[in-house]
């Protein structure tokens, strides 16, 4: 079974703190993604990475940065947390489309981190 | 712009059939996904359509009409455990997913 794990299920931080969210996948996936999920809105892509040390901005990258030093690990960093970053953060991973493994570019999600910024 | 519409909430009875619709207007199309998300949990993959027609997988089926920008997820023989949110997502030509806000399905006994 594919496994995507996230470092915390629940996190409470104060405004201005630096916050690290970690995601690890065990399927040797090339692609990894960070989304946030808010009530009444679809999943919104923050950043994604298609290879080690590579990153691409998603739809809402402002206030966030990412790091991918190893293939299995993708970190989301909130440089200075603000209350409007209170949200559910979901990490996902998949193979590149066209991978010889066939149709396996389904995104697999971690359990999510519910972050509250006070 | 990119737009995916789903009903916000639906209610159905245990044992019945329910159809959850998804309409999309996107600048490109490269497949449509349905995911299930139980409260407080991660989304899990249900189905994928890239060609017109019906894909059946047990109690769940998904239909796609590309010309109409329309898909539906059909759930038969509803069980209480089917209470969840159902997310529709369109894959764009860059292989990124554009997500709908999800439909919360409530199953009543």
* pLDDT score at B4: 95
* pLDDT score at A19: 97
Q: What is the mean pLDDT of the segment spanning B58-79?
A: 97
* Whether pLDDT at A23 is above 60: yes
Is the CB of B11 inside 8 Å of chain A's CB atoms?
no
Task: Give the C-alpha separation, B16 to B26, whole Å.
Answer: 32
Q: Which of A20-24, A73-77, A113-117, B89-93 has the lowest mean pLDDT?
A: B89-93
pLDDT, tens digit (0-9, with 9 covering 90-100), for B71-88: 999 999 999 999 999 999
Test the B interface: residue of A43, A45, A96 with most B CBs within 10 Å: A43
A48/B43 Cβ within 8 A: no
Minimum-distance CB partner of A107 among B40, B97, B100:
B97
Structure tokens that stand for A46 in this block: 């923050």
Query: pLDDT averaged over chain A?
Result: 91
Q: Is B11 helix (H, G, I), strand (E, B) or coil?
A: strand
* pLDDT score at A102: 40
Rounded to a whole number of angstroms, the distance from the CA of B104 to the nearest CA of chain A is: 10
Q: What angle do CA A77, A83, A86 make, to 5 degrees?
A: 65
Minimum-distance CB partner of B101 among A42, A45, A108:
A42
Task: Give the C-alpha separation, A87 to A74, whole Å.
Answer: 18
pLDDT, tens digit (0-9, with 9 covering 90-100), for A55-75: 999 999 999 999 999 999 999
Percent of chain A with pLDDT over 90: 76
Structure tokens that stand for B85 in this block: 């949110």
């Amino acid at each position: 079974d594919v496994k995507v794990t996230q470092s915390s299920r629940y996190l409470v931080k104060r405004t201005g703190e630096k916050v690290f969210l970690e995601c690890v996948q065990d399927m040797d996936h090339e692609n990894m993604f960070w989304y946030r999920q808010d009530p009444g809105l679809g999943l919104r892509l923050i950043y994604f990475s298609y290879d080690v040390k590579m990153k691409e901005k998603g739809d809402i990258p402002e206030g966030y940065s990412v790091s991918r030093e190893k293939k299995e690990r993708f970190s989301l960093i909130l440089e200075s947390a603000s209350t409007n970053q209170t949200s559910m953060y979901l990490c996902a991973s998949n193979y590149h489309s066209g991978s010889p493994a066939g149709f396996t570019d389904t995104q697999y999600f971690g359990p999510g981190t519910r972050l509250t910024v006070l | 712009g990119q737009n995916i519409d789903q009903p916000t909430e639906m209610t159905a009875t245990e044992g019945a059939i329910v159809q959850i619709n998804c309409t999309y207007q996107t600048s490109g199309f490269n497949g449509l996904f349905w995911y299930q998300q139980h409260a407080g949990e991660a989304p899990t993959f249900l189905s994928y359509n890239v060609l017109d027609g019906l894909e059946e997988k047990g109690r769940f089926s998904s239909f796609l009409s590309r010309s109409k920008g329309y898909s539906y997820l059909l759930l038969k023989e509803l069980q209480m455990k089917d209470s969840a949110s159902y997310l529709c997502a369109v894959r764009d030509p860059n292989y990124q997913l554009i997500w709908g806000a999800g439909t919360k399905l409530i199953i009543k006994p």
